[in-house]
A and B are shown apart, each in its own frame.
Chain A
Amino acid sequence: MATNAPTVPARNPAKSFQDMILALHDFWSANGCLILQPYDMRMGAGTFHTATTLRALGPEPWNAAFVQPCRRPTDGRYGENPNRLQHYYQYQVILKPSPPDIQDLYLKSLEVIGIDPLKHDIRFVEDDWESPTLGAWGLGWEVWCDGMEVTQFTYFQQMGGFDCKPVAGELTYGLERLAMYIQGVDNVYDLDFNGRGVSYGEVFLENEKQMSKWNFEVADTDALFDLFNKAEAECKNALENQVPIAAYEQAVEASHIFNLLQARGVISVQERASYMARVRDLARGSCEAHMEKEAPIWAEKYPEWSK
């Protein structure tokens, strides 16, 4: 008698937000990526995940894919805007060194989630990326699908002020946008989350309302200023004790607190630049310390590599 193994239905990304994510996981897993889980901190973009920033440094190959929840406090609209959210998901793929067929791989991943390039007009439109906060930049494109930006595609050239050797290719899919497109809905809250009628709104609308209110109106600004200073101090403490990953986490924390302060409107234009410089110093300092710590090991394993 054959074993009665449970059967798993095929993915249906055209009808289900979660199936779209799972289909991407299947695809990138089959193409050699580690499937990681989100970083357990509040951050503004998937790029902040250590699997992207810190792994972009050094010579070791690294291929990973993950979903990262992103917090953009100033983008909150109390759940009233059809496509602006203070919390949303990015799908990140990082491939180091960038493989020669990276564009083809990416286009196949679109087909996997139901975007046929003979039905939809897919274009690579120049869009370079720069994050002064991370001391990072790269060249690449925003990928258009029928005029809509669905992915940011970047070849990292520098991270933390260091040349990327080798260069990593980074793909960042805006998941809600893509899903809205694939499912043909005009309002993010109408997305079918599971293909069985649970909507994105049922999952997140109340969060958006409350978090928008908190971000803009409620959060105790004195406490936030205090948190910022504490994160900064802790970052320095970690750096002094040669634990750069811990330091980097505090830089990420400071960056998010800064975004919250911005949303509360308590940072003046003049102060803004100085806060940004402080965050940048923390992030760069952490990257530098990480580099310092790992460089001897990397150089030994990869003689052709140098800092």
Chain B
Amino acid sequence: MSADFLLELRSEEIPARMQAGARAELVKLFRREMDSAGVSVGDVTVWSTPRRLALIARSLPLETEAVSEEAKGPPEGAPDQAVDGFCRKNGVTRDQLEVRDVKGRSTYFAVIETPGRAVKDVLTDAIAAIIRDFSWPKSMRWGDASISTESLRWVRPLSGIVALLDDQIIECEAHGVTSGAVTLGHRFHHSGDITIGNAGDYAVKLRAGHVIVDHEERQAIIRSGAAKAAADAGLDLVEDEGLVIENAGLTEWPVPLLGRFEDDFLEVPPETIQLTARVNQKYFVCEKDGKLANAFICTSNIDAEDPAVVIDGNRKVLAARLSDAKFFWDVDRKKSLAKHAQGLERITFHEKLGTVADKVDRVAKLARWLVEEGIVKDADPDMTEQAARLCKADLVTEMVGEFPELQGLMGGYYARAEGLPDAVADAIRDHYKPIGQGDDVPTAPVTVAVSLADKLDTLSGFFAMGDMPTGSKDPFALRRAALGVIRLLMANTVRIKLHDAELFIINNLLAHYRIDDAIHRRRDVYDWIGEVADIKPKGFKGNYALAEIRGEVEAPLDVGYMYDLLDFFADRLKVQQREAGVRHDLIDAVFALGGEDDLVGLLARVHALQAFMGTEDGTNLLAGYKRAANILKKEGWDANGEPPHTGEEDPLSQVDDPAMKEVVEAQLDAAKKKSLSYAPEAAEKALIEALDEAAPKAAASIRAEDFEGAMTALATLRAPIDAFFGEVTVNDDDPAKRKARLDLLSRFRNAVQQVADFSKIEG
């Protein structure tokens, strides 16, 4: 024996964008309720229209099965408190407890018998729970009951409940709405009640009431109806699945209708027409021979007596919007972009970072620098600077004021309209890219330079102000900007020392920075930026750095942010590479080396490392490394070994300098080699020789960015280190031997460390 269940929750118009989520929520809550009551549920169908959510569950049992559950409690003689607590928890009284033997101890048991329940009673409770717990993105109160804030919340007023198990009404009540078998049809095409017999005739009866309750069917009608309307007019529909779904969510009886607008409007960029038609009016557009046609398709919710009336009304609304767009297009082109750009002086980019005009000036200088330094290759520096100077000009045009989504794109159109070179127009159009994950990454050199400059300036500026993203808060979309930089660098193999770029940017920033805006005072700013001489805020004459050190003025900027910014790039790169399947521990291992700020180079190293770690040599070398590192750690052999005196006061002071590092290490190695006071064992000697050979090779390979070569060189250490551990006692009684061998392990570790910090690698 089983029965089919129908639930319809009728309300005033549910926003189209919320309907898919509401369907999922309804199924989830229904299943939750059935599961907890022990009702097995098979297939569940769920539908939505603007005015109703419906769920059909077929073949529900009529009764739940009786369940007997046992719970083991405290032993006999346990404190009353414990026994009472146990009773309370299980909803039994003390005299209902049973005593059983558990491993020789008399123990209390509670036996809870749950008798079978009629499923109709379960459903009554379930409906109440579903309505009470339903989660909407936004919900509201209404009507008389709303005198209390405790009243029911729903997306819009809930107006009816149909609840039927086969042909029997499931009684329930929510917020004064009682369940029944009666619903309403189409708002205009049907008047009076529709009485539903059971789940089987629900959709049929609604259809007779001019309601297609299955949203997928309405979507199909809109999809094919729009395509047919276009085809009948000799046009091709521009497909738009988002619009299909939205229109299906706005109608119970969708009727796609095609209308025309005046040809004149086609002069404006097609994106503008498409955007206003889509976003403001939810219309489809059509093409003829690949070009936008003067047609729109609206989706009416009625079989209008005279469709021409509905079409004409919609045409007028669209015409009003398009005439606005055309007006903007005409007015905007009366001024050149350079003229428009002057208006940017009136727009604040950021309180402390000046106007958008200031920002544009910085971007222009940086873009030019990127080209002139050969960082971005094959771009014309003059064109690059020109594109950068004009790239934000469209922000003050009427069109972008009305349709902010068209920023960039309109600038590109206006640039072309005034006869600027394609490379410049393209760069203006595309400089915001890449934006989303699937967005194309620019490859045209001028565009790459402008896009990079724009993003780097934004990142540096906000980091310098201390406005970095925290948690989920990223109001200036800096994560997206950083990811954009990374993708631009990767896609175009742009090699850039981010430190160098930052030095340039900070000079730029300071030019727009007023002394009274100084936020931090940090002496090491000038230690860090060293000989960059002309860092000074606007209006300051003389040597600002010197004045600052003398304490005459305050440091204008905290340049410490640069470290944060590089870390930020590292984090973004990790996230991005993790998604691409690169092991995060390998990224960490390479980043941990520090000193490398060329992301393309970093990544090449990570990729080589990943390939190496996939080989047997790689895993064994890692094992050897870990063993060596553990011994060194245990013996308290500090991370850098015991560097002998090299003539430098502090031999490691310049280790951050890659060139110096080699010199220092060569000296260390030489010093160690010479100081051997005993005859080494065979395996020891073999390792020394292998290191003598492999370490400089690996170093040279890294210099040449031949990371595979570096890995190959390191691979030659695998057999010698294995043999060394097998045959040589590190902790020899002779202190000289012990020291020499620990030094040797330290050398081995340092050699491996040239490539990556192997201690970060898992496995």
Contact = CB atoms under 8 A, between A and B. Distances in A.
Interface stretch (A117-125, A209-217, A219-227): A117-125
Contacts of A186: 316
Interface stretch (A13-21, A40-48, A160-168): A160-168
Contact of A120 (B189, B250, B309): B309
Interface stretch (B146-154, B367-375, B717-725): B146-154
Contacts of B668: none
B140 A157 contact: yes
Contact of A167 (B12, B142, B251, B310): B142
A88 to B, nearest CB: 15
A155 B157 CA distance: 10
* 9 A-B pairs with the lowest CB-CB distances in the bound complex, closest first: A146-B313, A126-B15, A124-B13, A147-B314, A167-B146, A166-B146, A117-B188, A121-B300, A166-B147
A75 interface: no
A148 B317 contact: yes
A269 interface: yes
Contacts of A165: 146-149
A56 B498 CA distance: 58
Interface string B158-174: 01000000000000000
Interface residue tally on B, bucketed by range:
35 or more
29 contacts: A59-B147, A82-B320, A97-B142, A98-B146, A100-B157, A100-B159, A118-B189, A119-B304, A119-B310, A120-B304, A121-B300, A121-B302, A121-B304, A122-B188, A122-B301, A123-B250, A124-B12, A125-B250, A126-B13, A139-B155, A145-B313, A146-B309, A146-B313, A148-B316, A155-B140, A155-B156, A167-B142, A167-B143, A186-B316
Contacts of B143: 97-100, 166-167
Contact of A146 (B12, B283, B314, B347): B314
Nearest to A143: B13
Interface in A125-154: 125-126, 128, 138-141, 145-148
A153 to B, nearest CB: 9
Contacts of B347: 269
Contacts of B187: 107, 117, 122
B138 interface: yes
A169 B187 CA distance: 20
Nearest to B313: A146
B300 to A, nearest CB: 4
Contacts of B147: 59, 97, 165-166, 302, 304-305
Given A103-B12, A148-B316, A305-B147, A118 B298 contact: no
B348 interface: yes
Nearest to B144: A97
Interface of B: 12-13, 15-17, 50, 138-149, 155-157, 159, 187-189, 250-251, 281, 283, 298, 300-302, 304-306, 309-310, 312-314, 316-318, 320, 347-348, 351
Interface in A227-282: 268-270
* Interface SS majority for chain B: loop
A123 B149 CA distance: 29
Contact of B305 (A59, A118, A141, A169): A118
A212 B631 CA distance: 85
B146 A97 contact: yes
Interface residues of A, number: 44
A83 B320 contact: yes
B13 A141 contact: yes
Given A141-B13, A165-B147, A167-B143, A121 B250 contact: no
Given A121-B302, A146-B312, 14 more contacts: A83-B320, A121-B304, A123-B251, A124-B50, A139-B155, A145-B313, A146-B309, A147-B313, A147-B317, A155-B140, A155-B141, A166-B141, A268-B348, A270-B348
Contacts of A146: 309-310, 312-314, 317
B177 to A, nearest CB: 9
B592 to A, nearest CB: 44
Contacts of B304: 118-121
B154 to A, nearest CB: 10
Contacts of A118: 188-189, 302, 304-305
Given A100-B159, A155-B142, A167-B141, A123 B317 contact: no
Contacts of B144: 97, 166
A117 B302 contact: yes
Interface string A31-66: 000000000000000000000000000010000000
Nearest to B348: A269
A305 B143 CA distance: 14
Given A124-B12, A126-B15, A181-B313, A139 B146 contact: no
Looking at B142, B301, B314, the one whose CB has the most chain A CB atoms below 10 A away is: B142
Looking at A98, A124, A141, the one whose CB has the most chain B CB atoms below 10 A away is: A124
Nearest to A167: B146
A117 B189 CA distance: 9
A6 B76 CA distance: 99
Contacts of A147: 281, 283, 298, 313-314, 317-318
A86 B318 CA distance: 22
Nearest to A157: B140
Nearest to B136: A139
B301 A123 contact: yes
Interface string A88-100: 0000000001111
Contacts of B305: 118-119
A285 B353 CA distance: 35
Looking at B146, B149, B320, B351, the one whose CB has the most chain A CB atoms below 10 A away is: B146
A189 to B, nearest CB: 15
B599 to A, nearest CB: 36
A189 B196 CA distance: 52
A184 to B, nearest CB: 9
A107 B186 CA distance: 14
B487 to A, nearest CB: 32
Given A147-B281, A167-B142, A98 B157 contact: yes
B140 A139 contact: yes
Contacts of B312: 146
A305 B310 CA distance: 46
A30 B251 CA distance: 31
A120 B310 contact: yes
Nearest to B327: A81
Nearest to A138: B140
A128 B138 contact: yes
Contacts of A82: 320
A120 B313 contact: yes
Contacts of B159: 100
A186 B262 CA distance: 15
Nearest to B259: A147
A263 to B, nearest CB: 16
